Structure 1
Amino acid sequence: MPGRAMPGRDGPVPPGIVPGRQRPMSKRNRMLLIAAGVAMAATAAGAVTMATAAGDEPSGPVAKPSVTPPPAWSLAAGRGLTGGIGLRYAGTLTIAGGPATLQLRISPEGSASGTLTAGERTALLATVDGVTYIKAGLEFWRAYAAGTEHPEYYAGGWAKAPLALPGVDVAKVLAPGSVARKLAKASADPKTEQIGGVPAYVVPAADAEYLIAVAAPHRLLGVRTSGGTPLTLTAQPLASPAPLFKELRARVKQLGGATDPTLHFAPGQLTFKNCNQNMNGCTVQVPATLSTWEGKVSPDARAALRASITSKGRALGTCHGSAPVPDDRTVTVSCTVTGRTWRTWMRAALDNPGSYPYKASARVVGEALAAADVQELLTELDAERRELVRAAAAPAPGSSAAPGATASASAGATASDAPGIATSQRP
């Protein structure tokens, strides 16, 4: 006989405020959107021409808007960033009042892999499709993820990185393509300073300052941020994209089910389904409501269930399940415990009549990435890698270098993946 059910669960998950993972659209969709934007612009221009032909010319002189073109050095720096194969950043930041070091390799489109080290604790980082994920132990979360409730829910596995870790939006601030767009808005008369003995332009932006070598080809020397997590990084061109993508691909393969500390749920009453006398497994289900946030729910918001079943202190198994959060913010998440341990225990209960109580403990957390979405990310990552490998193997225009050869960088730096940290001071 199976015995009676004694449902149990952890206490309510404390509420938090965040609408969900705002995952950017895929690169394929971004390309389609860009193409559509060009067509719309062309149509608008045609409409203006037709209106002028119909006799709607203004009666007086038309003042044309004054547009100051970006300086040539900033455009050259941008071309070097978007036409390269990536960057390697190294530097320091302050988290939880103490020093930390960041090592990061990043592609032109913003795919990145690296580490964040504070004292003897190290966290792994992975940025893909505009979202940064972190994998760290419980001590790291407790010490450096300030404000994260229940860090034990996220430690040991991959999770969406809190804003404080690594202290910067990697794709927005550090991706070479993003940096190039910011440099296109540089002043024609920027401030200058010495960076490791090298004269550099200082280009301020909303999120950071970019340090560009005065001498051609105007290489990016470093990045600085201020605010809650001051960050000082040096930048060097990658010698090869292969090590970056090998490491990053391995990490992305593990991202399915990555948790999201910015989503919080209020769980309801745990119930069992199809457990009695069932050798195949036992299903646990929990209703949960996305808490303390009003308005439209992000289409990427997901709830994940982590459950375990025990009988008189004996572990019978664990299970995971997830589901998207609907517009009313309430979802029922379920998972099924299966396996040899459950079958053995249930067979003993059926063969030996008596009382066999069992109970379950469960928690509901946010999910940053569904397992089904991982393959799409890997496909895009592989396409990006192939393109960069071809670019790295091709000689530069007008160059007699053999395929695969790399030219040394200017301003006293070489194209190397070896660690290196420089210091600088604000003007």
Structure 2
Amino acid sequence: MIRHGFGTLLGAILLLSTGCTSDDPPLDAPASAPKLVVAEAVEQSIVDLKSAGAVRYNGSLTAPAGDNVTMQVTVTKAGEAIGELSVNGLPATVLVVDHTLYLKAGLDFWLKLSGVPDSTAPTVADHWVKAPGVLLGVDIERIFDTETLSGMFGKPVTAQAPDAAKRTKLAGQDVIEVPTDTGVLYLGVNPPYGLARFDLTKSGKTDPTKVRDLAFSVSDATSDMAALYRDLAGKAAELETAYDPFTGVKQGTYKFQNCTANSCSIAVELTNVGKQAARVAVKATWTGGGNVIGSCESRVGPLQPGQAGSATCTLSSPQWTQFYRRAQSVAGQHPYGAEWTAMALVTPPDPTGLRKLATSAETPVANVQGNQHVYVIRDDAGTQDKQIWKYGVATGSDWRKIPDEQLKFCTAGCVVDEVAATGDPASAHALARQLVDAYRGRVGQCPPAQWVGCSPK
């Protein structure tokens, strides 16, 4: 029944929107949101931040080791992240999937990142690499988890009304400055306010969340979740060849074999000394007569912890053929050799789930058995536009707790109605966005308390 009810409501909205002409009577004006004191405006803005399906962050921080880290990342409510970062000016692409951090960067980045041996850097350069947060000094998923992040904001040190707070501009947006006991928050000047930026002196208490000097602009990315999950799925599919340099691989004996005019192979004995099963990649650079004559790559596994195996890497380049024929026809010594690295590969995440979420965000489907709930907060006088205050999404059997806590910010007599339920957050936010967009199409603006899903057109 919930699904049918949502379809009926949305159909009526679309019919209203497309049926208006210049002769139609004007729609009722939207309800106005009350002006709040600064502490209440901060509280409401934090509720909205926590309710977002995805948030963009753009700024910088200082890692525990003193490194300057800049980031432009989009982080979902579930903890996936995608974007760009730099460490002391050296850039990298960043991806967080299944609670695991992956980085892709050039040789200089890896040579100058502490904890990565110089001998490893050339192998992992320009490849995806599984990187523990402690290596980077920043746990992106934990720091930008909205529950954790909002706990770092501290308490406002002023009780004045937003109209009386100091105003400034950020990227052309009018904002108010809200000093707290841990830094400064910047909110929009009018309801629903919304967090635009935070400048904090410090964050977590343990590495790798014990960062300082956080300064980030904030914007809601919930409306872009379909594209976001497509991008996440695309990047996740690239992790099939990602390296895991922190899973131990012990190298044993080696031997050259089957060397003919067409090719030559090197077989390397390996043992997985890590704590989990791993595939292993061997990459070798060959020389002949003092010159580089080609390279080869090979994979083996997965090897279980403690399991031994062998990887055979075969060179079949034209340069090898030339070297071999010259050695056969010219008397004397013709030395050849290979330098190789053996490194574990990650067990790649399955991007199927991310692709399904992208589809859900594009074509949402209501599901009465789902645990993602789309709700509306409205004046109890009715369901017309002038009574609607905001739409939102909450999770779980106790989902009403989230909207109920917001009733104190609404006009007197506000109530909460469930509009629909879905099976995943992407479809829930997509359904809520449809309602917001339809409202905006009729009224010319979002509901008065709407921050999530109300990005500029």
TM-score range, shorter chain: 0.5 to 0.7
Give the TM-score taking structure 2 as reference length.
0.55
Q: Could you give the per-residue CA deviations for residues 298-356 of structure 1, whole angstroms, max 9, x where no partner exists?
A: 23x33321112221123332222232232324333333223444445445556778765
2:245 maps to 1:230: no
Choose from 94, 99, 117 the match for 1:149: 117
Choose from 400, 413, 422 the match for 2:439: 400
Q: Which amino acid aligns with 2:356?
A: A
**Whole-Å separation in 2 of the counterparts to 1:331 and 1:407:** 62
Q: Could you give the per-residue CA deviations for residues 147-187 of structure 1, whole angstroms, max 9, x where no partner exists?
A: 22235243332211242454333334435xxx45998xx8x
Secondary structure in structure 2 of the residue aligned to 1:256? helix
Choose from 271, 275, 283 the match for 2:255: 271
The 8 Å contact of residues 78 and 180 in structure 1, kept in 2 or not, is answered as no
Shift of 1:367: 2.0
2:266 maps to 1:284: yes
The 8 Å contact of residues 77 and 180 in structure 1, kept in 2 or not, is answered as no
Q: Which amino acid aligns with 1:136?
A: A
Choose from 289, 301, 306 the match for 1:312: 289
Give the TM-score taking structure 1 as reference length.
0.59
* Alignment RMSD (CA, Å): 4.7
Q: Which has the higher contact order (CA 8 A, sep 6+)?
A: 1
Shift of 1:264: 3.0
Q: Please show how residues 25-424 of structure 1 align to structure 2 within 5 Å.
A: 84-95=52-63, 96-143=65-112, 145-150=113-118, 151-152=120-121, 153-164=123-134, 166-175=136-145, 179=146, 191-192=155-156, 197=176, 225-226=203-204, 227-228=206-207, 229-231=210-212, 232=214, 233-238=216-221, 239-241=223-225, 244-245=228-229, 247-273=231-257, 275-277=258-260, 279=262, 281-291=263-273, 297-299=275-277, 301-322=278-299, 323-346=301-324, 356-369=334-347, 373=348, 376-377=350-351, 379-390=352-363, 391-392=429-430, 394-396=433-435, 400-402=439-441, 407=446
Q: Which amino acid aligns with 1:128?
A: V
Q: Which has the larger radius of gyration?
A: 2
**Whole-Å separation in 1 of the counterparts to 2:60 and 2:325:** 58
5+ residue gaps, structure 2, are: 1-39, 159-165, 167-174, 364-428
Q: Could you give the per-residue CA deviations for residues 345-403 of structure 1, whole angstroms, max 9, x where no partner exists?
A: 4455567787654212112223224xxx47x32x3332222223445474227952349
**Whole-Å separation in 2 of the counterparts to 1:334 and 1:402:** 63
Q: Which amino acid aligns with 2:127?
A: G
Q: Could you give the per-residue CA deviations for residues 398-423 of structure 1, whole angstroms, max 9, x where no partner exists?
A: 952349x9949979999669xxxxxx
**Whole-Å separation in 2 of the counterparts to 1:400 and 1:81:** 21
The 8 Å contact of residues 265 and 313 in structure 2, kept in 1 or not, is answered as yes
The 8 Å contact of residues 52 and 452 in structure 2, kept in 1 or not, is answered as no
Secondary structure in structure 2 of the residue aligned to 1:395? helix
Specify which structure has the higher proportion of strand.
2
Q: Which amino acid aligns with 2:314?
A: T
**Whole-Å separation in 2 of the counterparts to 1:98 and 1:141:** 14
Shift of 1:94: 1.6
> Which position in structure 1 is the counterpart of 2:169?
none
**Whole-Å separation in 2 of the counterparts to 1:346 and 1:309:** 13
**Whole-Å separation in 2 of the counterparts to 1:356 and 1:305:** 25
**Whole-Å separation in 2 of the counterparts to 1:406 and 1:383:** 31
Q: Which amino acid aligns with 1:308?
A: T
The 8 Å contact of residues 219 and 411 in structure 1, kept in 2 or not, is answered as no
The 8 Å contact of residues 303 and 364 in structure 1, kept in 2 or not, is answered as yes
5+ residue gaps, structure 1, are: 1-71, 204-208, 418-427
1:331–1:413 CA distance, 2 compared to 1 (3 A):
same
Q: Which amino acid aligns with 1:289?
A: T
**Whole-Å separation in 2 of the counterparts to 1:212 and 1:115:** 24
The 8 Å contact of residues 257 and 367 in structure 1, kept in 2 or not, is answered as yes
Secondary structure in structure 2 of the residue aligned to 1:116? strand
Q: Could you give the per-residue CA deviations for residues 200-251 of structure 1, whole angstroms, max 9, x where no partner exists?
A: 9999xxxxx9x89899869666586334551524432115235545654554
Q: Which amino acid aligns with 1:121?
A: L
Shift of 1:75: 11
The 8 Å contact of residues 395 and 402 in structure 1, kept in 2 or not, is answered as no
Give the length in aligned residue pairs. 320
Bigger mean CA deviation after superposition, 249-258 or 344-353: 344-353
Percentage of identical aligned residues = 23
Secondary structure in structure 1 of the residue aligned to 2:434? coil
